[in-house]
Chain A
Amino acid sequence: MGKTIAEKMLSDKSGRDVEAGEIVEARVDYVMVNDVTGPAAFDEFESLRVPLLRDKVILIPDHYVPNKDIASARQAKKMRDFALRHDVDNYFEVGSGGVCHQLMIEEGFAAPGRLIVGADSHTCSYGALGAFSTGIGSTEAATVFARGVLWFKVPESMRFTVDGGLGKHVMGKDIILTMIGDIGVEGALYRSMEVDGDTISSLSLSDRITIANMGIEAGAKTCIIPPDRKVDDYLAGRVRGEYAPVFADADADYMDSRQYDAAEIVPVVAKPHLPDNVAPASEVGVTIDQAYLGSCTNGRIEDFRAAAAIMKGRKVRRGVRMIVVPATKRVMEQAIEEGLVKIFMDAGAFVSGPTCGACLGGYMGILAPGEKCISSTNRNFVGRMGDKGSEVYLANPAVVAASAVAGRIVDPSEVTG
């Protein structure tokens, strides 16, 4: 019997020939922590009194920076102090970085065949480039700082194949939300998702990142897209070190295989309060108070272009505020250069520098009781973005932009005609 990508990668990184169900200790290529999960990792690591494996460690403040209050300032300072004390090169200060997952990709840490862990659940994003990447806790990160290895249960794999051409305003977000709607928020629990097909091959890397990013919302350990020429092209001149792509065998054993016809996928919205509560955007119609464009899920230049194409020459509807947050400094620079920031500002949107911001209810876009937000982010749990009586609706950037203009949740074609 052949092997899945997950089985091959964990075999390679553990030096044993393993299959789903086995537990291995595997060599980790990179470990990333942020300003919220880092501080606990630093304390645990210092208690081990060993040298830091500094070349494997990446420190990215993004959740509550620029510091939102004194407590978050303490956490950010703790990360900065740790970086200086241990001479960590890969520390990205405010002003040079942005949202951790987009930065991990832009900076060339994520690459095919790599095993990457991060103390943030959306670490699974790098599967878009053919990496095996997964979220871990702070204590686990601390032990990787010291030993460079971590234990993994080799996951069973589910295969999702999407073929055919996508309709207008349909993005990677709609593909992954449709899948989560089908299998549920625990539909891929403990498992690896492998997503392929000619639709996926034709997608931009940005849309693929959105898909891999939200694998965790179905409970997946990782969500891997077989790497191709587009990944190689993106990594040229950017990637750090060598990389070796890993592909599944033709006779690999999947515990579940699903086929999708791209033509049947429409712009969708995940309604409160779970990402699997999916409905076509055209059927939602809810009046909104806020529209949020940003995050590791949909804060890239391609997302901004999709939103700006709809907002150009239009206005955010009276009574609605729109908040636009680029994922990284590079995204912001490019958005300024392409005139996208001006389009958003002319439409009446508030544009900020990169941060996780309101995605997790941190700051800069918190919702009041009863308020509703259409958001390009990844979670719509109770109270995720503010008061427990507020509501978050997840959608692609085009739906977010169109809804900001319409004042209620709509399919973009209603605005663009």
Chain B
Amino acid sequence: MEISLTVNGILKTVDIADENTPLLWVVRDTLDLKGTKFGCGKAACGACTLLVDDEAVRSCSYPVKFAEGKKVTTIEGLGDRENPHPVQQAWIEEIVPQCGYCQPGFMMATAALLNKVPKPTDEDIDKNIINVCRCGTYYRMRKAIHKAAELQAEKVINESKEV
């Protein structure tokens, strides 16, 4: 069956034999976007987190059929080298990753958090950022999340000045 979805701003139509195929595998194997990672396959670790209509979703447990007509954002679509997303910039500045495998999932979850809570408290972070990092980079991630909130606020102010 054919499923149409907008991935990182580009309309894609994929031909899928099983509509229950996890969105993760469509993104990685069919669309060749390898930034989204497979971790546990049980929606527990969060390595596969991406955004569907701006909401954080564990893509290993999200059948692609539910993405029909929706907007999917992966780590590749969050920003780029020239214009990194505040979360990506903060991750670079705080030198967060160790092995890096889980980081895209954390960054997507953080992007979703900042969309909802622009200036999150430590409690907000504890409640919403529940992914798993086996390198234990949680301390640096917390700093980066606060940093990303600052960068995003600055970005909003600068954009409003330009308008």
Decide whether A and B are members of one complex. Answer: no
Interface set of A (CB-CB < 8 Å, partner B)? none
Interface set of B (CB-CB < 8 Å, partner A)? none
